[in-house]
A = this chain, B = another copy of it.
Amino acid sequence: MPVPEIPWFQSASRRRRYLAGISGGADSVALLHLLHRAGFRDVVVCHLDHGLRGQASAGDARFVEKLAASLGYPCESGKADVQAMIRETGDSLETAARDARHAFFAACSRKHRCPRLLLAHHADDQAETILWNLLRGSRGLSGMRAEQVLQMDGKPVECLRPLLTMRRDELLAWLVSEKIAWREDASNAEPIAARNRLRNEALPLLSDIARRDITALLNRAADSSDELRVIERWAVEQAAALDPQGRLHVPRLRTLPREVQSACLYDYLRTSGVPELSRDLVARGLTLLDADGPPAVNLPGDRVLRRRAGRIFIV
């Protein structure tokens, strides 16, 4: 079986260093082998034991260390106690596991002076994430980005997901054809009941109802939504609704369609650091544009959005 073609590999520099988050599950094992075959030599394998799989965890760590050694890559192994973090902070499993990973990857990033982290998410993970975000009330459809800078423990880390267009089956078929071993269940470092149910119940049911491959459909639909968001950002720039002092210019705003006003106000509030932005809050903010609207709208955190002398600004 031919080696799967990864578009990102074509343009990525082999001379740079990359961190790679490797659980030992099929997806990340495939990523590591594919990197090696594609000639990436300066890769640091980063493996975090979340402390959630008991004895099996130690086996995962040994497996990843051996794998790294066999490919000639250095390996960083970390250990977190996510259950203890949950007891301490009251956070959800998802949040605690993410914080543990972020702290670990940030430490690896500092130690190896490398701001780039490769992650093994693929198109099936993406479909699950899109549906998951939809169920949590995302704006439109949104999934993971192929390239995204995340703040991890105060450090900006560029997360790269080269496999995001690949299907899980393609990766598995390749591993099997190459007789490459992986750790079963190791990728389930996030045993989140809801996400597992999405994968095992919802996506198959929807595919069955649609008689189509819903994973591919969700991926394409999310791409369209991403495009629309880029267009929205461009529209906000074109709207040029800020005055030289960075306040919203009421006469200019009034010339724009309601939806563009909304996008401009959302952008203004977001860049001003207003937390908990909601559609409702933006809608209330827009009442400042009405001739008989109020002169001020309360914002979270004791701040106020005020209209005065043809400008809207935060005080």
Contact = CB atoms under 8 A, between A and B. Distances in A.
Contacts of A198: 209
Given A238-B238, A257-B230, A221 B279 contact: no
A140 B224 contact: yes
Given A214-B135, A225-B225, A230 B259 contact: yes
A80 B235 CA distance: 48
The oligomer's copy count stands at: 2
Interface string A228-265: 11111011001000000000000000001101101100
A227 interface: yes
A197 interface: yes
A150 to B, nearest CB: 23
A210 B224 contact: no
B259 A227 contact: yes
Contacts of A218: 134
B263 A225 contact: no
Given A135-B209, A139-B221, A262 B227 contact: yes
Nearest to A214: B135
Interface stretch (A151-159, A199-207, A295-303): A199-207
A194 B220 contact: no
A27 to B, nearest CB: 22
Nearest to A225: B140
A141 interface: yes
Most chain B beta-carbon neighbours within 10 Å: one of A134, A229, A263: A134
Contacts of A3: none
A191 to B, nearest CB: 15
A312 to B, nearest CB: 19
11 contacts: A134-B217, A134-B218, A134-B221, A135-B206, A139-B221, A194-B210, A198-B209, A202-B206, A228-B228, A228-B229, A230-B257
